[in-house]
Chains A and B, each alone.
Chain A
Amino acid sequence: MREKIKKRRIRLGLLGASAITLLLSGCGPQYMVLDPVGPVGKEELHLILLSVILTAIVIIPVLGLLVFIVWRYRDKPGNRAPYLPKWSESRVLEVVWWGIPIVIVGILGYFTGKTTFALVRPPENNIPPITVDVTSLDWKWLFQYPGQKIATVNYAVIPTGVPINFVLTSDAPMNSFWVPQLGGQEYTMPGMAMRLWLQANQAGTFYGHGANFTGRGFAHMNFNVIAKPADQFYGWVRSVKATSSPLTYAVYDQLKKPSVIGTTQYSSIPPNLFNGTVWADGGRYMPGMLPAQSMSTMKQSSSH
């Protein structure tokens, strides 16, 4: 009898815990990963849901079997369940539980590969993308717009419905650029330029944060990505150009020093600041990303 109550308690504890998590994860804007606003985040969410369903095919029987077996074959006087101490082989059963997981991994592996390859391409092919060069610094984010020739710190504005080509590097320890509602993260690494395609299909302000630990000020490396319709985006660019001061090498050197600061914006950027940073630290680009300028100009600018 005591045993019975105990096992019931295990079950209840388990059920309670999972019920709470499930209830809490019943979406809502707080659950950013489950509430994506663009095609990248959506595709990742689909994969997440698929993986939940596929793993549940194994997990639920395991949990059910465990409860059933422990209950039925407990060592209790008068338990009439069969006791076969030498029964220890069954080809059929073994084939079942080697086979089913292999099939599941096959399916999940296929869709994983498919999504992985899809995400290295721009989400839309017929809309010209916008490039944003991102540099993680100690402990702030610098966003440069090579097309618009402006820059911001600790926030970025993007047009809705347009694929954004985030090019990522770091001029400090490795960080990771993560805007959960737009999609998954990618590391920023010194001496390397990495690409992350993201896109917002709704206007709004989306939380972003560095995801990889970089020391004392790391907890304060949050930023917002603000998505606006294209015309408002260009209006914003014009106002930044009209009202802010330029980003010079001197200003950049100041920014580079470890500190926690608020948001700012700059009316212009030095032409080779970003690629110069990548080159100064090693100069590796993901395949197909090498910028058009000649290497010699970049090397010059890197020794500023």
Chain B
Amino acid sequence: MPAWLSHFTTTYLMWNEGPMIWASDVLILLTSLGIVVALTRLHRWKWLWREWLTTVDHKKIGIMYLIAALLMLFRGGVDALLLRTQLAVPGNHFLSAEHYDQIFTTHGTIMILFMAMPFIFALFNIVVPLQIGARDVAFPYLNAISFWLFFFGAMLFNISFVFGGSPDAGWVSYPPLSELGFDFGPGENYYLLAVQISGIGSIATGINFLATIFKMRAPGMKLMRMPLFTWSVVAASVVIIFAFPALAIALALLTLDRVVGTHFFTILHGGDPMMFVNLFWVWGHPEVYIVILPAFGIYSEVVATFARKRVFGYSSMVLSLMLISVISYFVWAHHFFTMGAGAGVNTFFAVASMLVAIPTGVKVFNWLFTMFRGRIRLTLPMLWTIAFVPCFAIGGATGVMLAAAPADYQYHNSYFLIAHFHQVLIGGVVFGMLAGMYYWWPKMFGFMLDVRLGKIAFWLFNIGFYVCFMPQYALGFMGMQRRMYTYPTDMGWGTLNFISTVGAYIMGLGFLFIVIQVLYSIKHGERDKTGDPWDARTLEWSLPSPAPHYNFAVIPTVTERDMWWELKERQETDLLKLKPEMIKPIHMPKNSGRPFLLGLSFFVAGFGLVFGWIPIAVIGLIGILLCLLFRAFEYGDEHTVPIDEIRETEAALGRL
């Protein structure tokens, strides 16, 4: 092998690191080849480009987010199993310290930014316009850009594993550990640029949905008539708009430190690492509410539908959503009670953190009393919702325990903390997203998911969860720190760690059953012909499943909350029935390939910057500029759907 080639294979492809890398390379190669061959054989390239890569339809963008989120859940899950395998027994040599550090960093980053975020955006996209009686989001083109920025950000992050090396400073990436002085590999740059690129997309999504909800509601849908999921999107979007810029700044300054040699967070030359910690958590704490608020919205919809009852205390639900989003800005320092802030500061942030628990607890009681005097059907979305309540209650209680600052001196950085945030992130966010996925699945795809397989998955995942994470609370009390790649035998941590690992594998099995369930149901799933398989309450269920690309042939007029349910109760659904003479031509946005190309340009620029390869970065930046320029001179990005086409579509759906 020539010297330059062996230099390349060791430095960038890391082939000297052994079988794990080789296997991943082969797998990636085979998968890519498989996709290319399949698309070519089935003549689907054009279809892929026309129907998906260039789409600006919120429903399709939502589906792409969903697929990406599930893939990332898989990747993050494999990471988790690798970590747990290493920790199963004391003194294990399954992973080296270097690899363990990389894997917990990618696991955390992927789960929060490339799994939870796209999952909530999937449901924002799929549900919000349908729930408020709109034909699309306020800025469909921007919506496509958001997706492709997320997508290429995630790609950039994921290739680090096989090209150049993964980041290893933790998903919080505190300097000075993440500065050049201690971390000179490209991994940290991957983290900074990938998260930055997808973060820009997230800010745009927040703005987009706030505008959509405030400007595009059907006539008569006053704010206090909006479904609670839509309200939760309002709350989450507000938090996104205020929180994500802080992350963008933190990452940008750290990138400058690393790439250009500035000293924002280095210790010498007047920099201050504490500034990064503050900026990070000024985003980081609101971030956990960004992902949990939509889950709260989902639970509200699911509980009302499957208890066949109005949501209890609607106004109080809205109030608590908004209170949570405001209070979540005033608690960030609880992530570093132990960094020497004075007693006054710590007390302030401790009490503020406890305050968040109040509106959250109120919501739990309101869900319980929505079920009270209802008729509860234990469908899959409802099962996940019911399982959420005890899990989140315990997670919330341990959160309050953590908020008591002096007690946190003993929990911080220990396995107690790990158990807490997994309990709220999995029991709150992941359960919620799964409930939402099951609930709106027929609306997205027009068929139902198999119940039996879904129940197996549900039980495996739930049992696995408690087996995995309850022992970790105890490990925290036993003094076990997080982010240790190994631990000695004589600490007595072995048994509980082993149990925890077993639980992780049971959860992995549960995930597998969800995959099997989806694949099985694609073939055998029952078709949803009514558009309202759950006998539900809100407007999206008045549409056929899946909804036509323009959603509503005629925009409905809303007269009350739970409009669809009320109409059904009064047997007045005819009010929403189409009358041929009401149909008018519809203006819809045109597809465009530019959002995809813009994302690709960001990817190229980011990749160039990761390695300091300026020519590549410049090519990417030029691509970005060109995309912006062409957009600036684009006129007429809408087209009109003629009346005949609408009539035909609606007739084919049996609606005329």
Contacts and interface: CB of A to CB of B under 8 A. Distances in A.
Decide whether A and B are members of one complex.
yes
Interface of A: 3, 6, 9-10, 13-14, 17-18, 20-21, 24-25, 30-34, 41, 43-44, 47-48, 51-52, 54-56, 58-59, 62-63, 65-66, 69-70, 73-75, 79, 81-90, 93-94, 97-98, 101-102, 105, 108-109, 111-113, 115-117, 119-120, 138, 172-174, 176, 178, 180, 183-187, 189-192, 194-195, 207, 209-219, 222, 281-282, 286-287
Given A63-B393, A173-B177, A21 B413 contact: no
A75 B377 CA distance: 5
Given A34-B477, A48-B401, A98-B362, 12 more contacts: A6-B378, A31-B478, A48-B407, A66-B386, A101-B362, A105-B357, A187-B339, A187-B340, A194-B340, A212-B413, A215-B182, A282-B267
A88 B308 contact: no
A287 B479 contact: no
A89 B314 CA distance: 8
B471 interface: yes
B346 interface: yes
Contacts of B487: 219
Q: Which 10 A-B pairs have the closest CB atoms?
A: A184-B409, A173-B177, A55-B397, A211-B413, A88-B310, A17-B466, A219-B484, A213-B483, A113-B347, A109-B351
A207 B342 contact: no
B393 A21 contact: no
B50 to A, nearest CB: 45
A6 B476 CA distance: 31
Interface stretch (B237-245, B363-371, B583-591): B363-371
B486 interface: yes
Given A14-B466, A101-B362, A219-B484, A59 B410 contact: no
Contact of A218 (B397, B484, B496): B484
A30 B478 contact: yes
17 contacts: A10-B386, A17-B467, A32-B478, A33-B479, A55-B401, A69-B368, A85-B374, A87-B312, A90-B312, A98-B358, A105-B357, A119-B409, A180-B479, A214-B177, A215-B177, A215-B183, A216-B97
B310 A180 contact: no
A55 B395 CA distance: 11
B98 interface: yes
Contacts of B268: 281-282
Contact of B397 (A17, A59, A105, A211): A59
A13 B375 CA distance: 25
B548 interface: no
B376 A33 contact: no
Contacts, number: 294
B491 to A, nearest CB: 8
B350 interface: yes
Interface in B257-289: 267-268, 270, 272-274
Given A10-B387, A14-B390, A101 B361 contact: yes
A87 B340 CA distance: 51
B29 interface: no
Contact of B376 (A70, A84, A222): A70
Nearest to B410: A184
B400 A187 contact: no
Contacts of A47: 404, 406-407
Given A33-B479, A94-B316, A101-B358, A51 B404 contact: yes
A28 to B, nearest CB: 9
Contact of B274 (A117, A180, A189): A189
A83 B413 contact: no
Contacts of B386: 10, 66, 70
Contacts of A83: 308, 373-375
Interface in B479-532: 479, 481-488, 491-492, 496
Given A66-B390, A189-B273, A48 B410 contact: yes
Given A17-B470, A98-B358, A105-B354, A51 B400 contact: yes
